Chain A
Amino acid sequence: MSIAQSLESVQFLSDFSESVLAYPIVLSTHLTCIALFGGMILMTNLRLLGLTFKSVTITQMVTSLRPWKRLGGTVMVCTGLLLATCEATKYAPNPFFWTKMAVLGLILLHGAVFRPIVYNRTEELDKSPVIPASVKVAAYLSLFLWIAMFTMGRLIAYWD
């Protein structure tokens, strides 16, 4: 039995995928996180680009929303894990799913690369008269990766 098949045969997961209510509720929660916390990520990026929230310092923008983004990210990953594992045999051969996972990997890499030079140095950035290029690169890449993320997520449903 393949890994995907054995995952699907877990009683709890097969109950979940057959449930009329549980599956759409978890999917809706996944989407709600995109709306609430994806919106926060977008606004933070727009602040980094100097497009809005000009009187709010980068430090305030990044630190005051950070716990909520972390919470949203956790809920997003947990619900996503549930959605993918309960239909593991459908997801395993799906190229959009694996592209989405690759994008997720790039998002983690983005965090690892830019945390020390952007997100953990916001106080310096607030003192700087111009927004450095590295900050703009971080913001544009983040926007691009998140758009790729939800686009691939939607396309998963279209592959058969």
Chain B
Amino acid sequence: MLIQNALVDALNDTEWAFPLAECVHIGGFAVAVGSIALVDFRLLNLGLRHESTSRILRYTELWTIFALIFVIFSGFMLYISQTGVYRINPIFPIKMYILLAALVYNFTIHRKVAVMKDPPPALSKVVAGVSLLLWVAIVFGGIFTGFLE
């Protein structure tokens, strides 16, 4: 509790802390979503066709996880600095539910299909499409949280 208060004070009292957290949040989601999108583009046969999806997943996975840690941590900082604002926001909870769905989906179904040797093309495409939709929806959710109060 004490630590949380200290963090909240730091975010609210220093002029640059909030924008810095926002920049970490943006940079983090660019890496997280961008690295997941490479797997999705491969599943959709839209890029990196010379390499298997499972290899691409292996190359990107650590970057995805590290970036997600940064995004979630910076997002949490932004949230606790203005809990009152986020609590009454109509869009924010929707964004959180979609985020939860996207995280679970990414490390279960999405991962399972990405490591499959020869997944049916239709399955690959649906799985990649759903993944892209979920992550893009979260980006939209973030912006709309700020605009519809």
Question: Which A residues are within 8 Å of any B CB, using their own CB?
Answer: 20, 23-25, 27-28, 31-32, 34-43, 46, 52-57, 60-61, 64-65, 68, 147, 150-151, 154-155, 158
B37 touches A (CB below 8 Å): yes
26 A-B Cβ contacts within 8 A? A20-B147, A24-B144, A24-B146, A24-B147, A28-B142, A28-B144, A34-B30, A35-B34, A35-B135, A36-B34, A36-B136, A39-B30, A39-B34, A41-B34, A43-B34, A56-B50, A60-B48, A60-B50, A64-B50, A68-B41, A68-B47, A147-B27, A150-B26, A150-B30, A151-B23, A158-B19
Q: Is the CB of A154 within 8 A of B26?
A: yes
A36 and B146 CA atoms in complex are apart in Å by 21
A151 and B55 CA atoms in complex are apart in Å by 32
Interface centre among B32, B41, B49 (most CB of A within 10 A): B41
Q: Is the CB of A155 within 8 A of B19?
A: yes
Nearest-neighbour CB distance to chain B for A7, whole angstroms, equals 22
Knowing A39-B31, A40-B38, A42-B31, the reply to whether A31 touches B26 (Cβ < 8 A) is yes
Point out the residues of chain B lying under 8 angstroms from A20, CB to CB: 147-148
Point out the residues of chain B lying under 8 angstroms from A40, CB to CB: 34, 37-38
B94 touches A (CB below 8 Å): no
Point out the residues of chain B lying under 8 angstroms from A39, CB to CB: 30-35, 37-38
**Chain A binding surface, main DSSP class:** helix
B29 touches A (CB below 8 Å): yes
Nearest-neighbour CB distance to chain B for A122, whole angstroms, equals 13
5 additional contacts (CB under 8 A) given A28-B144, A55-B55, A56-B55: A24-B140, A24-B146, A36-B33, A39-B35, A56-B56
